[in-house]
A = this chain, B = another copy of it.
Amino acid sequence: MTGPPEGAAGGMGEFALIGRLRRKLAASAGPDIVVGNGDDAAVVEAGEGRCWVMTCDVQVQGVHFPEGASGISVGQKALAVNASDVAAMGGTPRYALISLGVRADTPVAFLDEVYEGINARAGRWGVAVLGGNVSRTEGPFFIDIFMVGTVERDRLLLRSGARLGDQILVTGFLGDAAAGLHLLGHPEAKVRDEARTALIYAQLRPTARVEEGKAVAALKKATAMMDLSDGLAGDLGHLCEASGVGAVVWEQELPISPAALELAAAARLRPEEWALYGGEDYQLLLTAPVEAVPALQKAVREAGALPLTPIGEIVPAGQGMRLKRGEDLLPLRAGGWDHLKDK
């Protein structure tokens, strides 16, 4: 394979391309615009101390989910990844619109399932699905969901608020989705059925930390928040850049599930790699002063029975991003998934 021709999008990484296109946007300033480009979602003032949070995310067959994924998984995931962006701002997901790109040979039964998956997640979070549109495509099936949420202005959490000395925290486990992807590619790996199911579902049917995000926002003690879609190292890099800070991640504190540990042992892989660089966990990454951590942990546990684990601390920007392994401080590359770049 010779790679894309010169000047083609495939020659740029996803983040480079997004950065380029973002710079192409006319500056969107206005008294009503709280957050334009560059966070998990856009935020505008809606009056009465309330903001509207808006986001969209497209999922393409063969890129974001495998050809064989069930319609239910596809629908659930498509709704969840958008709800996750709203949750990452501390918001409540409210309304969704759906665009579908449908092939002539797409089974109608698959589309029915996609809507079942959407409805299952929407019902759980109280999201009203208000329509959308369908187009024919000769390429792979795709689904693009647009979600609007609401958040009180004084509970809004951005990527840009992290402060020196803050602890870095994550909800739930990291790396399960990447472990599930590994398992899809290596079905012969020897793990118990419960672990197999848990990891593959983490990859194909991720959920969103909606209740946890709202609980964190309601406490008004966190300084920054985002969701983990591209992998901890990459996403933390975005948070540090937006906040103008650096970070140290404590490798031995990374919360890794028993299922991922089991697979890693069977496959002789380091599960920390999944936790650091695997994408699509859709957990929440937040920062907060040390003294606020116990109250945040209690709030997250009560909201969704999930752990909230301190995994590092915010340091001056000049120190960059580093990984503490034992007594060593290693450079932490801000890699992460890149759906666009030719591999």
A residues in contact (CB < 8 Å) with B: 4-5, 7-12, 14, 17-18, 20-22, 24-26, 28, 30, 33, 35-38, 42, 44, 46-48, 50, 52, 54-60, 62-64, 94-95, 97-109, 111-112, 115-116, 119, 122-123, 128-140, 142, 144, 146, 148, 339-340, 342
A30 touches which of B7, B100, B128 (Cβ 8 Å): B128
A108 touches which of B20, B57, B128 (Cβ 8 Å): B20
Q: Main SS of the interface on chain A?
A: mixed
Q: How far is the CB of A32 from chain B (nearest CB, A)?
A: 8
A130 touches which of B37, B104, B144 (Cβ 8 Å): B37
A54 touches which of B33, B148, B340 (Cβ 8 Å): B148
Given the interface pairs A9-B106, A44-B95, A138-B139, the reply to whether A119 lies near B18 with Cβ below 8 Å is no
- Determine whether the beta carbon of A139 is less than 8 Å from that of B136: no
In angstroms, Cα B135 to Cα A339, docked, is: 7
Chain B residues within 8 Å of A58, by CB: 99-101, 133, 135, 144
Between-chain CB contacts (< 8 Å), 26 pairs: A8-B107, A8-B108, A10-B103, A10-B106, A18-B134, A21-B115, A24-B112, A24-B116, A25-B131, A26-B119, A35-B130, A37-B131, A42-B95, A42-B131, A48-B48, A52-B148, A56-B99, A58-B99, A58-B101, A58-B133, A59-B135, A60-B137, A104-B342, A135-B339, A136-B339, A137-B140
Q: How far is the CB of A238 from chain B (nearest CB, A)?
A: 13
Chain B residues within 8 Å of A24, by CB: 112, 115-116, 119
In angstroms, Cα B26 to Cα A123, docked, is: 8
- Determine whether the beta carbon of A97 is less than 8 Å from that of B42: yes
The closest CB in chain B to the CB of A131 belongs to B37
- Determine whether the beta carbon of B130 is less than 8 Å from that of A7: no
